[in-house]
Structure 1
Amino acid sequence: MRERVALSLFFGLAGVLNALWVATLPAVDERLELGPGRIGTLLLLLAVGALVTMPLAGRSADRWGSRRLLRVATPLCAFVLAGVALAPSYGVLAVAVLPLGAATGAVNIALNVHGVEVERALGKPVMGSLHGVWSLGGVIGGALIAAALAAGVDVRMLMVSVAVTVIVVSLVPGPFLLTAPVPVTKEAGGPVVLSVGMIAFMGSVVFAAYLSEATATDWAAVHARWELAAEPATASVIYTAFAAAMTVTRFLGDPLRARLGPARTMRLAGSVATAGYALVLVSPLAGSGAVACAIAGWSLVGAGMATVVPVIFSTVGAMATRPGRALSAVTTISFGGALTGPAVIGYVAEVASLSAALLVPAVFTVFVALTGPAAVRVVAGSIVSDRASARRSS
């Protein structure tokens, strides 16, 4: 289906843009002499821009269509990122990252709402593979950017060149996106009006998943250095194993969800991630096998967390009368996990140890395993109730 291919390309481009920001941040730090405090402030401003925009993006997707929002937000995000690249000072950069966060938030909402609409049209799960393409775009983009920086390419020229390329390429698949979303009637299993409580419940599960995922992203390599005395190259391999496991599992997650159903998939995902954190926590006791134990543990964390977000987003978007608003609300709640998780780990590690701090995300993976199935069943139960009420009233 050409609509799925077109959307996949947008997901891949979004992954490239994310990599362009993350992979070039050290070079920007060196150029402008930012330091940890200023980088932390930039990341906070980026998050604020996204959090403010996401609810507005959800309303825009419902009112004007996710197709139109995606075609506008993606090149706009690349354009703003090119402006960020040219910032001559920290002050200008701090101002520039706010619209970057806003554009990134809009792209995030547009991608997931349109992904739900494509799922409806196809009649089968595809959200996991779409998120897999995003991860793959980030991996490929990050590798190419790292190679260019290693070859001595100026970071400003690199960022502007990649951003302009994304703008041009994004014009190609736009006309092939789904033009008329397939409506879902209550007889077909939805949509329903999701209450604030339902949205908060679903959001809390994704909050836990994002916190656990962000912890792995930011602390896996550091854990290997601090707790396992691994060499820097070995530590980077541990993060790569986590990212690779997450990417591969996202491509495999759709057939798994189709076979097991969303509730059982959520339970399996949380359980696998919990087992992964258990291995990470015991890895310092594994002697000569400590690094191998950590690699296995972080790989299981990546494999487990890979399917949580796609399943929740699909469930919310497919069953909500206003998928844009519902998804933006869940995303806004859950984004706090990615924002606060790494910082909390740092604070706990400061007063205790990093191994002790990793108990926090481990607890949250247990939360996913226990409450994730209930979260998707709550929405399914509301559909059954609505359909029963409709039959009684008729």
Structure 2
Amino acid sequence: MTGRGTIMLSYALTGVMNALWGATLPATDARLALGPGLLGWLLMALAAGALVAMPVAGRLAERWTGRRLLRVSAPAAAIGLAGPALADGAGTLMISAVVLGMLFGVLNVALSLQAAAVERALARPVMATVHGTWTLGAVAGGAVVTAALRAGADVRLLMAAGALVLAFALAAVRGVPDPPSRPAAQVVPHGPSAPPRPGLMIMLGVVGAAAFVTEGAATDWAGVHATRVLGADPATGSLVYTVFFVAMTLVRFAGDALRTRLGVVTTIRLCGVTASAGYGLVLAAGLLPSGIGVGCAMAGWALAGAGMAVVWPIVTSLLGAADGAARRLSTVTTISYGGGLVGPALIGYVASAGTLPLALAIPAALALLVATAAPPLLNAVSRTAPSTPSKQPAHTTS
């Protein structure tokens, strides 16, 4: 299997892993009677573990290489799902969430590093397609979870068995080859030819964080919103999660061609507007009768998924195009994923103090921020250094 095929398979399997966590949250909430407040603390525990581990992961990748880090972290993260599955109370669930967050944090950095390395070696945009395989895995995993819950499966058994199967599958995947280091201008003609300045690099992370907060709101709160606010059953709550990722998957597989045709700035602006419209429908759903409200919310989450589909792939691609350095990528990943992990926990806090619809105004505002503030920023990042002639035909990105 080629390096592109291997990284795509790794992303697909980790998408299934994400579904085993996100799509089972409504059932876990019902099993342990957590409520919005404890769910918020649970997500904060996950975030804390990830934020501690991500900067360390960049240093480990420089010492071990990204390939070795991915081969170790992927099956370990799958096994980590057994902790929440077997938790018998809120306390043990919180502890297991911290451990799982650390494992997820290392895995996310390893995946980003290897995806950037593959794109640099191919000298063309593939990042959205690679992330599309992740969402395809998330859709498949969400569909399996929904079907299993509708059939009456115990959520604990479902998560534990899924964790074991995924661990074996990820351990069997051959590592992605580490491409030889070459000047960025010679291998990736569609991005900056030098690393972004520290300020721009941090702002890249902020854009990624805004995207991940909106995505994390769907992963962790779409199902809960459907069950607790709109009156849907837990299986329908899992279906809302699946609808979000179906839309995201479709757009990601078209994302590389869309980016090449429209350019980075127009693509990001279109993404933000679409996601903002989606969150508008989600917020309006609570004002409608139950049956109509669920349908309106599903349409809104679908638009939100379509809108946020390529924001993070573009951010990763622009940074990886420079030199793909492990510490730089891990820094931006930490900021971005950190926002995505802390954001849903903040939503839980606001929901417990007020209402969940009020809390969902946070990702709605961030989607609007992506539409307005991100385009000029990404345009500046893509022009941080003069381009160097290349033997490859150039791709227009802005």
Same-fold call, TM > 0.5?
Answer: yes
- Identity value in percent: 46
1:130-151 per-residue CA deviation (whole Å, 9 max, x = no partner) reads: 2221122122223324444555
1:120–1:182: 8 Å Cα contact kept in structure 2?
A: no
Match of 1:297 in 2: 300
Q: 5+ residue gaps in structure 2?
A: 390-398
CA RMSD, aligned part only?
3.4
Which structure's CA Rg is the greater one? 1
Q: 1:305 to 1:161 in 2, by over 3 A?
A: same
Q: 5+ residue gaps in structure 1?
A: 388-394
Match of 1:137 in 2: 137
Match of 1:70 in 2: 70
1:143-171 per-residue CA deviation (whole Å, 9 max, x = no partner) reads: 32444455555555544432232222223
Matched, 1:97 2:100: no
2:26–2:237: 8 Å Cα contact kept in structure 1?
A: no
Match of 2:22 in 1: 22
Match of 1:10 in 2: 10
Q: Which amino acid aligns with 1:266?
A: I
Quote the Cα distance in structure 1 between the aligned partners of 2:225 and 2:54: 33
Quote the Cα distance in structure 2 between the aligned partners of 1:39 and 1:349: 10
Q: 1:40 to 1:281 in 2, by over 3 A?
A: closer
Q: Which has the higher helix share?
A: 1
Q: 1:263 to 1:62 in 2, by over 3 A?
A: farther
Query: Aligned to 2:172, what secondary structure does the other structure show?
Result: coil
Shift of 1:274: 2.2
Query: Aligned to 1:171, what secondary structure does the other structure show?
Result: helix
Number of residue pairs matched by the alignment: 383
Of 309, 312, 316, the residue aligned with 1:313 is 316
Shift of 1:122: 1.7
Deviates more, 1:183-192 or 1:138-147: 183-192
- Normalized against structure 1, the TM-score is what? 0.82
- Normalized against structure 2, the TM-score is what? 0.82
1:270–1:305: 8 Å Cα contact kept in structure 2?
A: yes
Match of 1:115 in 2: 115
Quote the Cα distance in structure 2 between the aligned partners of 1:86 and 1:200: 38
Match of 1:125 in 2: 125
Quote the Cα distance in structure 2 between the aligned partners of 1:178 and 1:222: 40
Quote the Cα distance in structure 2 between the aligned partners of 1:27 and 1:214: 18
Query: Aligned to 2:385, what secondary structure does the other structure show?
Result: helix
Query: Aligned to 2:194, what secondary structure does the other structure show?
Result: coil
1:283-331 per-residue CA deviation (whole Å, 9 max, x = no partner) reads: 6778997665544433222111111111111111221x45322222122
Which residues of 2 match residues 169-318 of structure 1 at below 5 A?
169-175=169-175, 177-181=176-180, 183-186=182-185, 190-220=192-222, 231-232=232-233, 238-281=240-283, 293-318=296-321
Which residues of 2 match residues 340-355 of structure 1 at below 5 A?
340-345=342-347
1:117–1:182: 8 Å Cα contact kept in structure 2?
A: no
Match of 2:167 in 1: 167
Q: 1:89 to 1:147 in 2, by over 3 A?
A: same
Quote the Cα distance in structure 2 between the aligned partners of 1:44 and 1:349: 14
Match of 1:80 in 2: 80
Match of 1:369 in 2: 371
2:44–2:345: 8 Å Cα contact kept in structure 1?
A: no
Quote the Cα distance in structure 2 between the aligned partners of 1:254 and 1:241: 22
Shift of 1:379: 2.2
Q: 1:261 to 1:60 in 2, by over 3 A?
A: farther
1:177-207 per-residue CA deviation (whole Å, 9 max, x = no partner) reads: 2232452344656552333211211111112
1:238–1:298: 8 Å Cα contact kept in structure 2?
A: yes
Deviates more, 1:302-311 or 1:280-289: 280-289
Shift of 1:70: 0.6
Shift of 1:226: 7.5
Shift of 1:112: 1.2
Q: 1:142 to 1:362 in 2, by over 3 A?
A: closer
1:117–1:181: 8 Å Cα contact kept in structure 2?
A: no
Quote the Cα distance in structure 2 between the aligned partners of 1:353 and 1:22: 21
2:195–2:319: 8 Å Cα contact kept in structure 1?
A: no
Q: 1:204 to 1:165 in 2, by over 3 A?
A: same
Shift of 1:363: 2.5
Structure number with higher relative contact order (C-alpha < 8 Å, ≥ 6 residues apart) = 2
Shift of 1:250: 1.4
2:272–2:307: 8 Å Cα contact kept in structure 1?
A: yes
